[in-house]
Structure 1
Amino acid sequence: MGTNQEATKSAGMRIVPANQAGSADLEMVFGSRGTAWDCQCQWFQNPGKAFDALSVQERAHDLRAQTRCGRPDAPSTSGLVAYLGDEPVGWCAVEPRTAYPRLRTSRVTFGGRDEDKDDVGVWAAVCFVTRTGFRRRGVSRALAAAAVDFARSRGARALEGYPLLLPAGKAPMWGELYVGSRSIFADAGFREIGHPTPRRFVMRIDFEKP
């Protein structure tokens, strides 16, 4: 068993590809109000004005189509769902970086880097959601660890994250907290390869070839 799998088990969580979760489980994680509910993890999928043009119901429909939830035999999915016992408690969006059009023009993602934006071998973990009532239990930390094993097992060459580190007294802007914290990526084995803005980092883990 790999280090990240051990970390996940030690946290007492079961984490599965999102296509193995049900639609009702996703609804419970995203809740019925607040930023996560409003976004439905569609911010990175819909750049420019496309996001604002969608209703919450349309965003939720798109999330379920992307995850292929309730279809355990589906060949692909777009994230992971965490459980404590039988309770769905968390979500992590992780798939090839090319699946997130908003990243293509992001100064955080590509500023100062000569990267092939069409490289499907580089994956990204872009969003973490912890269900209300289950915060401060290490859900995001366990999901970050599981994302490493998931991306590697699906053939990724590398996995990136774009976390936040808030200076003391600074409040987050809309949606920033959902990119994860620097510490959860560092604990999962990522290294810092960029610091493009005062509050954002680029963290990356490269996988050895078999």
Structure 2
Amino acid sequence: MATITTALASSETWEDIQHALSGGGDGRSCQCVWPVLTQKDWKDTTLDDRTALFQHEIATGRSPGLVAYIDGAVAGWVRIGPRPAQRRLARTRNIVATTQEPFDDDSVWAVTCFVVRKEHRRKGVNAALLAAAIEFARSSGARVVEGYPIDTTASSPNVNDLFHGALSTFLAAGFTEGARANPARPLVSLDLEA
């Protein structure tokens, strides 16, 4: 059985993160900065801009996520961090309509992106990343973790849309489903103080 491990994003894991992002889907072109940019700012960036922004974020701030490994081979990535730092969320109608938490509260963290390399899909990488992300949030003082997954029983998303994560993964990790502004896109939350 394969062993899945995780490591916090850092300058030392930069090349591993880039390898994770280049394994299929839009990860390489996005550089996982879509959640931190407004739509206008996103449109004004190039791939080089996004890469430089992501590298700077990793080198100078709190780690914005974790990279996963299967038996030492790079397998995936998850973005998690304080919700206020992920500026797009406060401008996303589905989230604004369904969250119960104030947008300026740094104790509310959000899981916004998963990437799993094609050769490592269906091996439990997302579940392992989510578990590690929850522990990272808890140890960093988060009070609540939110997610914005896709309910794959209510829609048939293409693989690129699954970067939000699947509802079933969040529910299995103990998240509670909240309101749905969109039939296939529930808001889920995990109270870390409960």
Q: What's the TM-score once normalised by structure 2's chain length?
A: 0.90
CA distance in structure 1 between the partners assigned to 2:160 and 2:23 by the alignment: 16
| Cα displacement (A) at 1:144 | 0.9
Give yes or no for the alignment of 1:78 onto 2:87.
Answer: no
C-alpha offsets along residues 82-130 of structure 1, whole Å, 9 cap, x if unaligned? 1112211110000000111110121221204453110000000100000
Of 124, 127, 132, which residue of structure 2 is paired with 1:141?
Answer: 127
Give 2:186's aligned amino acid: F
Matched pairs, number:
194
CA distance in structure 2 between the partners assigned to 1:162 and 1:143 by the alignment: 15
Cα 1:171–1:180 change in 2 (3 A) is closer
Give yes or no for the alignment of 1:53 onto 2:44.
Answer: yes
Residues 1-210 of structure 1: matches in 2 within 5 Å?
Answer: 12-19=3-10, 21-31=12-22, 34-68=25-59, 76-167=62-153, 170-172=156-158, 175-208=160-193
Cα 1:86–1:102 change in 2 (3 A) is same
C-alpha offsets along residues 36-94 of structure 1, whole Å, 9 cap, x if unaligned? 111111111111221122111221121122222xxxxx772110111112211110000
CA distance in structure 1 between the partners assigned to 2:93 and 2:61 by the alignment: 32
Structure 2 unaligned regions, length at least 5: none
Conserved in 1, the CA contact under 8 Å of 2:78 and 2:114?
A: yes
Conserved in 1, the CA contact under 8 Å of 2:148 and 2:186?
A: yes
Judging by fraction of residues, say which structure has more helix. Answer: 2
Conserved in 2, the CA contact under 8 Å of 1:11 and 1:142?
A: no
CA distance in structure 2 between the partners assigned to 1:60 and 1:42 by the alignment: 8
Report the 3-state secondary structure (helix = DSSP H, G, I; strand = E; otherwise coil) of the residue aligned with 1:81: strand
CA distance in structure 2 between the partners assigned to 1:208 and 1:202 by the alignment: 19
Structure 1 unaligned regions, length at least 5: 1-9, 69-73
| Cα displacement (A) at 1:166 | 3.5
Conserved in 2, the CA contact under 8 Å of 1:108 and 1:162?
A: no
Cα 1:112–1:24 change in 2 (3 A) is closer
Cα 1:205–1:169 change in 2 (3 A) is closer
C-alpha offsets along residues 179-205 of structure 1, whole Å, 9 cap, x if unaligned? 100011111111112212111011111
